[in-house]
Amino acid sequence: MNCRLSRRIFYLLASLMCAPITIGAEGGPTPPTSAPGAATAATPLATQAPKTTSASIPLFSSLKIGGELTGWTFQPLRGVKKTTVYTVVNDPETSEHVIEAKATSAAAALGVRLDLDAKQTPMLRFKWKVGNLIESSDPRVKDGDDYSARVYVTFANDPARSTFKERTENAFFRTLYGETPPRAALSYVFTHKAKTGEVIVSPFSSRVKKIVVDADPASVGKWKKFERDVYADYKRAFGDEPTRISGIAIMVDTDNTGETASAKFGDVSLSEK
């Protein structure tokens, strides 16, 4: 097995939906520490945000400015030394409480674990305000795979549908970390280095398909609202039926390019059509 590729798969998928892990000074795992604004970052996601059969995603607009990110779990990516900082702020344009994310050579996500039928609750709605462009980004290569804003939707592992390669990878990480990474993920991204509507395979893993929802540099500094049919997007991106939705995460990351990026995120929801 290509261990480097497998590790990256785990970082991109399992880090979003499993217990957080950080790297100590000697390069080995150490207990996670809290990040600014994060609610009990050292708590496994299964404890912090129990699985639910409804689309009850905690609202950023209901959180207190500068307070804990109740209902969301801070997820650092193993192997990335610096983490994205997430803070509850008031947006002067909308007068709403939103999440402000800032990253400098950093990566980390905010995630919620779910258990939803993608066909019954397919309508994903979210909004963001991108703070800046990442000039050296490139969604097709590893060194450029950074985004000023993205929203992940992960899909649960299904042993009956796993390929031999996926079963081998899953067994490897289950042995190491005690959890199986999701089968796949959609990543809705802002990038000025592709075309709106384009589907791009992650350079790190074919399990992750990126859908460009905004490619206009003029979007910087403006609130943009999005509505996506997750069920239809999955079938278009992966060519088959999705498994159950296992989680949602937001992320701003610049660990590959070493640049600085920021964005604000409004409430995220999943509902019936």
Over the stretch 1-16, which tens digit does the pLDDT of each residue have? Answer: 333 333 444 555 655 5
CB atoms within 10 A of CB 271: 12
Res 12: pLDDT:
54
**What's the chain's average pLDDT?**
82
Res 31: pLDDT:
31
Question: What pTM value is reported for the model?
Answer: 0.82
Number of folded domains that form the chain: 1
Structure tokens at 26: 């000697």
Evaluated on CA atoms 12, 197, 190, 119, the torsion sign reads negative
Closest CA to 35 of 71, 67, 3, 83: 83
SS3 28: coil
Mean pLDDT of 63-85: 91
**Is the per-residue pLDDT at 39 higher than 90?**
no
Domain that holds residue 132: 3-271
**Is the per-residue pLDDT at 55 higher than 80?**
no
In whole angstroms, give the CA distance from residue 101 to residue 265: 8
Q: What are residue 237's phi and psi, to 5 degrees?
A: -75, -40
In whole angstroms, give the CA distance from residue 237 to residue 266: 25
27 confidence band (pLDDT: 50, 70, 90): very low
Selection from 17-21, 55-59, 96-100, 175-179 with the highest mean pLDDT: 96-100
Segment 212-249, tens digit of pLDDT: 999 999 999 999 999 999 999 999 999 999 999 999 99
Burial of 224 (0-12, 13-18, 19+ CB in 10 A): middle
**Is the per-residue pLDDT at 49 higher than 50?**
no
Are the C-beta atoms of residues 162 and 183 closer than 8 Å to each other?
yes
**Is the per-residue pLDDT at 80 higher than 60?**
yes
In whole angstroms, give the CA distance from residue 165 to residue 205: 12
Closest CA to 10 of 180, 257, 250: 180
Mean pLDDT of 51-59: 63
Mean pLDDT of 162-178: 77
CB atoms within 10 A of CB 87: 18
- Residue positions counted in the chain: 273
Res 101: pLDDT:
98
In whole angstroms, give the CA distance from residue 260 to residue 248: 24
Mean pLDDT of 88-94: 96
Which pairing describes strands 208-214 and 184-190: parallel, antiparallel, or unpaired? parallel
Segment 123-167, tens digit of pLDDT: 999 999 999 999 999 999 999 999 999 999 999 988 778 788 778
CATH number of the domain that 85 lies in?
2.60.120.260
Q: What are residue 124's phi and psi, to 5 degrees?
A: -95, 125
In whole angstroms, give the CA distance from residue 67 to residue 210: 31
* Beta-bridge mates of residue 104: 260
Res 146: pLDDT:
96
